[in-house]
Amino acid sequence: MSRAVLSIGANLGDRLANLRSVLDGLGKRALAVSPVYTTAPWGGVDQDDYLNAVVVAEDPSFDDYAWLRFGQELEQAANRVRAVRWGARTLDVDVVQCTDDTGAPIARDTDPTLILPHPQAYRRAFVLVPWLAVEPAARLLVDGVEVPVADLVAGLDPGERAGVVRTDLALRDESAHPC
């Protein structure tokens, strides 16, 4: 298991620097990085807008739990506090999907520590839109069936899709550090 799709977001502190810390932590493991988007908060908690992006990464020494631990370590380094469900955060790193060495998606639906693919990813525009931008042929396992992310995006409420707005911000200088 070596490939992961990571959804990253931040709405506290230096949001862009917090997102960039994920790329710094990944180094050469980052294969592709989406544009940065601004989105309204999800979940009904009053808070500032988020910056969101998706990173596709690979490391043959990582399994799905290693990707989870990696994300949690980055969140801790950004001083994330888990006080309110769906509340504001300095950094959120979600493992959306992992694939094994053959490219097959890993399915975990009974493990309380890690559910894969992320159980809500298929309905969250702030995950799907950036992922589609960086990987147009992406597919997400939904109820045991691989579904094109493009189809999932098309099936979202138009208002939900419109709420994911591409910014001019970049997570890395592509001329200096291409993926």
pLDDT mean over 53-75: 94
The confidence band for 88, taking pLDDT boundaries of 50, 70 and 90, is: confident
The confidence band for 84, taking pLDDT boundaries of 50, 70 and 90, is: low
Task: State how far the Cα of 90 lies from the Cα of 18, in Å rounded to an integer.
Answer: 7
For residue 177, being part of any structural domain is answered with no
Q: Over pLDDT 70: what percentage of the chain?
A: 91
For residue 175, being part of any structural domain is answered with no
Q: Over pLDDT 90: what percentage of the chain?
A: 66
Domain span at 127 = 3-166
Q: Which of the pair, 35 or 89, is modelled with greater confidence?
A: 35
Which DSSP symbol is given to 36? P
For residue 160, being part of any structural domain is answered with yes
pLDDT mean over 80-89: 70
Predicted TM-score (pTM) of the model is: 0.90
- Structure confidence at residue 9 (pLDDT): 94
Domain count, the chain: 1
Where does the chain have alpha helices with state H? 15-26, 64-77, 125-134, 149-154, 158-162
For residue 176, being part of any structural domain is answered with no
Q: Cα dihedral angle (90, 121, 83, 110), rounded to 10 degrees?
A: -130
Q: 57: which residues sit within 8 A by CB, 6+ positions away?
A: 3, 4, 6, 26, 29, 30, 31, 67
For residue 179, being part of any structural domain is answered with no
pLDDT mean over 116-130: 93
For residue 171, being part of any structural domain is answered with no
Question: What is the CATH number for 73?
Answer: 3.30.70.560
For residue 41, being part of any structural domain is answered with yes
- Structure confidence at residue 176 (pLDDT): 45
pLDDT in tens, 14-30: 999 999 999 999 999 99
Q: 111: which residues sit within 8 A by CB, 6+ positions away?
A: none
The helix/strand/coil state of 45 is: coil
- Structure confidence at residue 126 (pLDDT): 95
